[in-house]
Amino acid sequence: MAKFFDCITKELQEFIAAQHLFFVGSAPLSPTGHVNLSPKGLNCFRILSPNQVAYLDLTGSGNETSAHLQENGRITFMFCAFVEPPCILRLYGQGYTVLSSSPEWNSLYSLFPQLPGTRQIIVADIEKVQTSCGFGVPLYEYQGQRQILVNWADKKGEEAVRDYQQQKNMVSIDGLATPLSKLLEL
């Protein structure tokens, strides 16, 4: 059965720390807009307090979460156990994007691994925490993190990654501008 919490308890923090994968969900306000669900790894999630989290966001083929957050702030994180004991954990909150030009950048960025292709940091204030059984989640064996994205950005170089961001990360698939568009236009 589902249980709700007002914050990320110590036990739930330990559960999060043991996971190699998390999912980020967001959506535009438009009823015809596309809901976005993104898997994330590479040890890029941090708990800042019992009611605040952040993740280091690397350059990708789209930038939906950032566009949605700029429009309405809604964000959900999901962690699920692929080993015993089963558990699904969801964090519901309001988020925002921190760019390298932000006063918050240096203090937050220092919490993460320094990876090529870093695009932004997503921060979320968590309003509700929910656990559920996870009995339907299959068991999987963890083999390791893929390095393809990191290697791609490293090989491409900082300037070429920035060019890629200008081509692919300025607007969501629904036409919403991302905060990155302001930074890259400078």
pTM: 0.96
What does the alpha-carbon distance between residue 14 and residue 159 come to, in Å, rounded to a whole number? Answer: 38
* 3-state helix/strand/coil string of 59-95: CCCCCHHHHHHHHHCEEEEEEECCCCCCCEEEEEEEE
Mean pLDDT of 161-172: 95
Q: Cα(first)–Cα(last) distance of the chain, in Å?
A: 50
Indicate if the pLDDT at residue 84 is higher than 70.
Answer: yes
Question: Please, what are the domains in the chain?
Answer: 3-185 (2.30.110.10)
**Residue 161, exposed/middle/buried by CB under 10 A (0-12, 13-18, 19+)?**
buried
What percentage of the chain reaches a pLDDT higher than 90? 96
pLDDT in tens, 171-182: 999 999 999 987
Closest CA to 122 of 45, 35, 27, 54: 54
pLDDT of residue 185: 63
Give every CB contact of residue 156 below 8 A, 6+ residues apart in sequence.
117, 164
pLDDT in tens, 18-61: 999 999 999 999 999 999 999 999 999 999 999 999 999 999 99
Indicate if the pLDDT at residue 184 is higher than 80.
Answer: no
What percentage of the chain reaches a pLDDT higher than 70? 98
Helix axes 158-168, 148-156, angle to 10 degrees: 110
